[in-house]
């Protein structure tokens, strides 16, 4: 029974004992240590920031540093009676107040009365008021008087997640320090250290999943890890984390995206059905989807630095392929639809229907032409023959029609080879289409100026010239042109027709024209 009662939660076990152990807040550490070193401690500090980012931990460290028997010091020694007593919560002169529970004027008046007395056990009295924004207006007024004329032996540390709710008069009398969300990679490293100390093993993917769920809060990450360690036996597996979080694996979103690229509405609806049948919360599912497409955006935009932005290394290569085939414009539009969907799912009584409608919106995006090379393409309409091309090339009604037809036939092979040379160049080419190709020039048209400018970069042009020269059997110069009238519009209209046809096929319905409209 004694062992059970003495158990501490992971976030308490791993609470920093020195400033050097405070994760992800180097700017806070530097400010406080400089003040300690030069004996310029303010009489009141305001620690602001999201939950679980180290505000209370930093407050306790500061209380130890100012009261250390060797102090004030840059780092508490954790050996003297003051440091040990403060860490254990036994020093009466270091008082922690939860303003969420003690928010009235009576508690603050009691504090104001006790402030006048000198400390008995340590050099300086320290009052740590957590969630200070929860105090009533009367309590703030009572606290204000104390902050205006504080005794020299008293230090106030106010902590809050919502500084905007504090009166300006309180803020102006404190030195404000803003805590930041903790970097994804820093959380992963701390989780790896905790798992190792517990004598357990796990994969990087598991650690990244927990860090991603915590959204910058180390305390939340440690609490989730604690649940997973209690749930699992032996090594921690991906399925253990998914079960605890009520989440789905990334492979679900990978398959979802593959179905999008094939424009396979039936497969998309079946994936959604399986998620619902497994009892998953669709709001959380939407958050996961946003994270997945955010990662697609990151790997496409930051090819060499996606790891430091939170992309799981084990998934990076697969994400790059899908991101290149979707293109940045399409990924952005999907993220926009999912962002709107998150609000709809939260408040709707029929979240599944909201997701089905979102799938229709994604498939019918006005500027999207989904393309994907598959060995066995799925045909959703008999009238729509399978095409091996990566993008449909609109026929040109001019004397150059034959040259356009020739390059159209070679274009899929060119794109395939370009992808092997440079994923970045391949992604840009998916936003354009070949307009003409003669003996010496290959002209590629773009509907957006930014894509045209990026493709005109020397490195991208040289990559395309090299590949096109090999496949066409002659040297060509690449010329990039911008046309605000999108050449993909005919394909867009075709996609809209396909979408209607798919809906009819899936739901076995008919199209009825309303003559009253």
Sorting pLDDT into bands at 50, 70 and 90, what band is 206?
Answer: confident
Assess contact for 432 and 451: CB atoms under 8 A: yes
Tally Cβ neighbours within 10 Å of residue 437: 23
Average pLDDT over residues 414-438: 85
Kindly report the pTM of this predicted structure: 0.62
Query: Six-digit token pair at 77?
Result: 């020694």
Is residue 86 pLDDT above 70, yes or no?
yes
For 264-287, the pLDDT digits (tens) are: 899 999 999 999 999 989 999 999
Distances (CA, A) of 32 to 69, 72, 86: 18, 11, 18
Lowest mean pLDDT among 40-54, 234-248, 343-357, 474-488: 474-488
Assess contact for 292 and 250: CB atoms under 8 A: yes
Assess contact for 44 and 174: CB atoms under 8 A: yes
Phi, psi of 111 (to 5 degrees): -60, -45
Assess contact for 65 and 35: CB atoms under 8 A: no
Q: What is the pLDDT of residue 368?
A: 41
Q: What is the pLDDT of residue 35?
A: 92
Most confident of 236-245, 490-499, 501-510: 236-245
Q: What is the pLDDT of residue 353?
A: 92
Q: What is the pLDDT of residue 63?
A: 92
For 91-120, the pLDDT digits (tens) are: 898 988 888 777 677 778 888 888 888 888
Assess contact for 175 and 46: CB atoms under 8 A: yes
Is residue 371 pLDDT above 50, yes or no?
no
Max CA separation in the chain (angstroms): 97
* Domains along the chain with CATH numbers: 2-178 (3.40.50.300), 184-245 (1.10.8.60), 250-363 (1.20.272.10), 403-487 (3.30.300.180)
For 12-39, the pLDDT digits (tens) are: 888 889 999 999 899 999 999 999 988 8
Sorting pLDDT into bands at 50, 70 and 90, what band is 511?
Answer: low
Place of tokens 């955006």: 297
């Amino acid at each position: 029974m004694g062992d059970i009662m003495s158990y501490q939660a992971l976030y308490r076990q791993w609470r920093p004992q020195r400033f050097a152990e405070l994760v992800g807040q180097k700017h806070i550490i530097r400010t406080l240590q400089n003040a300690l070193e030069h004996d310029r401690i303010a009489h009141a500090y305001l620690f602001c920031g999201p939950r679980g980012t180290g505000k209370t931990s930093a407050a306790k460290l500061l209380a130890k540093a100012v009261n250390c028997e060797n102090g004030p010091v840059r780092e508490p020694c954790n050996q003297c009676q003051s440091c040990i007593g403060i860490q254990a919560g036994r020093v009466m002169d270091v008082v922690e107040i939860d303003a969420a529970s003690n928010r009235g004027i009576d508690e603050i008046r009691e504090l104001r009365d006790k402030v006048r007395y000198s400390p008995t056990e340590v050099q300086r009295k320290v009052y740590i008021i957590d969630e200070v924004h929860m105090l009533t207006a009367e309590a703030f007024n009572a606290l204000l008087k104390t902050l205006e004329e504080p005794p020299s032996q008293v230090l106030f540390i106010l902590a809050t997640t919502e500084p905007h709710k504090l009166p300006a008069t309180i803020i102006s009398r404190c030195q404000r320090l803003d805590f930041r969300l903790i970097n994804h990679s820093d959380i992963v490293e701390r989780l790896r250290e905790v798992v190792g100390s517990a004598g357990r093993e796990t994969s990087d993917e598991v650690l990244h999943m927990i860090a991603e769920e915590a959204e910058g809060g180390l305390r939340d990450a440690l609490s989730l890890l604690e649940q997973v360690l209690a749930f699992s036996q032996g090594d921690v597996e991906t399925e253990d984390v998914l079960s605890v979080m009520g989440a789905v694996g990334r492979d679900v979103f990978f398959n979802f995206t593959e179905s999008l690229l094939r424009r396979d509405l039936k497969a998309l609806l079946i994936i959604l059905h399986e998620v619902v049948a497994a009892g998953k919360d669709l709001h959380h599912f939407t958050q996961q989807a946003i994270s997945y497409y955010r990662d697609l955006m990151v790997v496409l935009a930051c090819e060499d630095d996606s790891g430091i932005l939170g992309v799981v290394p084990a998934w990076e290569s697969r994400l790059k392929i899908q991101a290149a085939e979707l293109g940045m414009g399409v990924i952005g539009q999907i993220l926009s639809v999912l962002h709107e969907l998150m609000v709809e799912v939260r408040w709707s009584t029929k979240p599944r229907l909201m997701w089905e409608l979102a799938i229709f919106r994604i498939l019918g995006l006005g500027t999207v032409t989904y393309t994907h090379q598959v060995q066995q393409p799925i045909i959703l309409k008999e009238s729509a023959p399978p095409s091996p091309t990566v993008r449909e090339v609109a026929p040109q009604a001019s004397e150059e029609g034959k040259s356009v037809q020739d390059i159209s036939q070679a274009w899929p092979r060119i794109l395939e080879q370009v992808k092997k040379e440079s994923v970045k160049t391949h992604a840009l080419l998916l936003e354009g289409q070949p307009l003409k190709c003669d003996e010496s020039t290959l002209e590629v048209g773009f509907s957006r100026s930014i894509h045209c400018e990026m493709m005109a970069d020397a490195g991208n042009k040289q990559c395309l010239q090299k590949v096109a020269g090999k496949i066409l059997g002659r040297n060509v110069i690449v010329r990039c042109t911008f046309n605000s009238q999108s050449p993909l519009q005919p394909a867009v209209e075709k996609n809209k027709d396909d979408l209607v046809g798919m809906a009819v096929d899936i739901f076995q319905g008919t199209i009825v024209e309303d003559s009253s409209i």
